[in-house]
Amino acid sequence: MASLLFAQAHAAEEGPALLKSKCVGCHIPEGNDSFSRISHQRKTPEGWLMSIARMQVMHGLQISDDDRRTLVKYLADKQGLAPSETDGVRYAMERRLNTVEQFDDQLSQMCGRCHSGARVALQRRPAKEWEHLVNFHLGQWPSLEYQAQSRDRDWLELALKDVVPDLAKRFPLENQAWADWQKDRPKADALPGQWSFSGHMLTKGDVRGVMTVTADAGDTFKLDVKGQYADGTPFSGSGSAILYNGYEWRGNVKVGETNMRQVFAALNGEMKGRMFEAEHDERGLDFSAAKAGGAKLLAVQPAHIKAGTQAELTLVGSGLSGAPDFGPGVEVVKVLEATPNLVRVQVKATADAAPGVRGVALGELKGVDLAVYKDIAEVKVVPEFSIARVGENGGSTPKVQGRFEAEAWGKGADGKPYRIGYLPAKWSVEPFDERAKEDEDVKFAGVMNADGVFVPGLAGPNPERKMMTNNAGNLKVIAELEEGGHKGEGHLIVTVQRWNNPPIP
């Protein structure tokens, strides 16, 4: 690990020489450390890793893992994306694989049928380079045009005539955002220090704590995480991280026995993103952190209270001070603990406290909301749509689980729905349609546990199933709230392993 980070820390000096020694055989030098193709695109660290890995797999490039990491660091710094250019598509880097993408029809149908649309939206190129990319697709997969799903149109003609000009306009190599970012890009030395963090892991609950960041060589860091889940389970460990392009934070932390990855945007004294298990990226938490030195309210945990009840609420942030104020009808009974990172209070919501979402204040600090509810109007299963995958059974691919929570919604005095938050529920699955019922998907596709974790079945053909098919299934996920018995419904597809699992889906 030490040598790995050492190599990356010297990327700025070593990058140009590596490009010259490793890439020049096939990419033409254009002077000024520029090379054909390579110097005319911008992308994320993951994007650069995928391009270079493809050079190895498809074109026989010979490069050590260390040199490849150095080049990824060099290129991601020199030809990366500005923060505003990754806004809204970070889910792909964060490996939120259940995301249902929202792109226009053309991009979805022409480019989003083999991989995510985000893979496209996370790149910047001039028209010529988008054109090369289209040609590379057809050259590499000549059958693309008449493969399933592509037979419906003249793909190449449409791609060159319509998609390329559109992409060149939407995702150009040069723009103001990137020019500004290169000028103002913050230095890595703004990051060492104490970071108070808040998060939520589906089926496990809220988590909070402090991450201590220590400077290492170049843009690399050592990390120490000390925290706990709301139920008291520790969330602590140590690791390392690297900063690409002034804000793309990538960390590796061993929490207990589990290796976890961090994919954050580190901007303006905050880190935001997702932290997930390396081997099971479906197990992850939404993460936000604020640096000591500033004052910021990150979260209130839990962010809901029922009218007429008492509860313990925890405010999480940095530089916390002052009196907590939860608005009319929610009284502070007692402050149980107050540190700069955390304020724990016992509160009481009166029976007539107005239902709805209200701002919480701590002294001068604002920015987080508390939902007060009386009645529950609706329950949603989160995620509403998801994919689990069979695995194991002698194969090397682990099962991909489904993880669900029940999100309660109320109706405000204005008749508008408002989010209450996650509440405890009983979980079950049912066949999604007639076909699923006939094929007994509920019996074969896997088991829904009491905590909302769905564990899919084993990989491979199942002799007990009709036609010896595998343990795929099409299921409804049913949540029944413990409080009030409201029911919500989600959709879960259980399917085969993902054989090809690139960093950007």
Q: Please identify which residue in 11, 159, 266, 478 interacts with ligand HEC, judged by CB under 6 A.
A: 159
Query: CA 97 → CA 54, 64, 101, 112, 406, distances in Å?
Result: 22, 29, 10, 14, 19
Distance between start and end Cα atoms, the chain: 26
Taking Cα atoms as reference points, which of 79, 38, 41 lies closest to residue 55? 38
377 is an interface residue for ligand HEC by CB under 6 A: no
Q: CB of 134: closest distance to ligand HEC in angstroms?
A: 5
134 is an interface residue for ligand HEC by CB under 6 A: yes
Q: Are the beta carbons of 330 and 370 closer than 8 angstroms? A: yes
- The stretch among 111-119, 168-176, 361-369, 429-437 that binds ligand HEC (CB under 6 A) is 111-119
Taking Cα atoms as reference points, which of 94, 90, 98 lies closest to residue 387? 98
Q: Are the beta carbons of 116 and 164 closer than 8 angstroms? A: no
Q: Please identify which residue in 119, 208, 261, 291 interacts with ligand HEC, judged by CB under 6 A.
A: 119
What's the DSSP call for residue 159?
A: I
Q: CB of 209: closest distance to ligand HEC in angstroms?
A: 36
132 is an interface residue for ligand HEC by CB under 6 A: yes
Site for ligand HEC in 2-21 (CB under 6 A): none
The pattern of x and - marking residues 186 through 205 that bind ligand HEC according to CB under 6 A reads --------------------
Q: Please identify which residue in 28, 58, 336, 447 interacts with ligand HEC, judged by CB under 6 A.
A: 58
H or E, element range at 51? helix 45-59
Site for ligand HEC in 18-57 (CB under 6 A): 22-23, 25-27, 37-38, 41, 47, 50-52, 54-55
Residues in contact with ligand HEC, counted by CB under 6 A, come to a total of 39
Determine the Cα–Cα distance for residues 27 and 35; give it in Å rounded to an integer: 6
Query: CA 80 → CA 175, 245, 451, distances in Å?
Result: 12, 6, 41
Q: Which residues contact 2 (CB under 8 A, 6 or more apart)?
A: none
Q: CB of 391: closest distance to ligand HEC in angstroms?
A: 21
Looking up tokens 């990327």, which residue turns up? 11
Q: CB of 102: closest distance to ligand HEC in angstroms?
A: 17
Site for ligand HEC in 463-502 (CB under 6 A): 502
Applying CB under 6 A, which residues contact ligand HEC? 22-23, 25-27, 37-38, 41, 47, 50-52, 54-55, 58-61, 63, 71, 110-111, 113-115, 119-120, 123, 132-134, 136-137, 141, 144, 147, 159, 163, 502
